[in-house]
Amino acid sequence: MNRLDRETSGLVLVAKTAAAARHFGLLMQRHSLGKEYLAIVWGWPQWAHTMVDAPLDRQSKHQHSVIWLKQMIHSAGAPAQTEFFVERRIRKPSSSDDRFSIIRAIPQTGRTHQIRLHLASIGHPIVGDKIYGPDEQLYLRFIEAGWIHELEQKLLLPRHALHSSKLAIDGEREWTSALPADLAQFCSGRL
């Protein structure tokens, strides 16, 4: 019923019957299915809470892109809104960039790469993000060579640090999932 990007961990709602699929599909259309994510981002935002309202479209429709699926903010795109809260600020003296934050993201819409692109657009890309992180060429390098030392030095994590942490059906049910071991370990100060 909901999908996650390939490297995103966490909760996925799966309908086992056609009736359940219809029920959950209607809940999603009525915006009665809430989703929350936790992301580890570069830097310490100057805000504790913010909303990004920026439409998204496939980048290759408007300019050259070597990555077919890459999105961009564009006025001709589909509406996209994400609410962000700073949950915790982390200092990692072992890293060249020693400031990171855990951000709670609540998408109001469900566009491809929405959270990742919205965070990057406000100057706080997700740690480990090969497409919206420091350089999209890192994604191409990863496709060519796999996870190599050069990528580890620039991205710190072999996957983007985004986790689907909560799914909730208004007034019915709620599921939660804590950060997985790899992301929890990153936050604890050990790389």
pTM for the whole thing?
Answer: 0.91
Q: In this predicted model, what pLDDT tens digit does every residue of 90-129 receive, in sequence order?
A: 988 766 678 999 999 999 998 999 999 999 999 999 999 9
- CB within 8 Å of 2: residues ≥ 6 apart: 12, 13, 28, 33, 35, 110, 164, 167
Mean pLDDT of all residues in 175-180:
96
The answer to whether residue 5 is catalytic is yes
Q: How confident is the model at residue 190 (pLDDT cuts 50, 70, 90)?
A: very low
Q: In this predicted model, what pLDDT tens digit does every residue of 38-85 receive, in sequence order?
A: 999 999 999 999 999 999 999 999 998 889 889 999 999 999 999 999
| Continuous segment of H or E residues that includes residue 183 | helix 181-187
- CB within 8 Å of 94: residues ≥ 6 apart: 189, 191
pLDDT at 177: 97
Is residue 71 within 8 Å of 99, Cβ to Cβ? no
Catalytic hit among 5, 57, 129, 135: 5
Domain 9-187: CATH class, spelled out: alpha beta
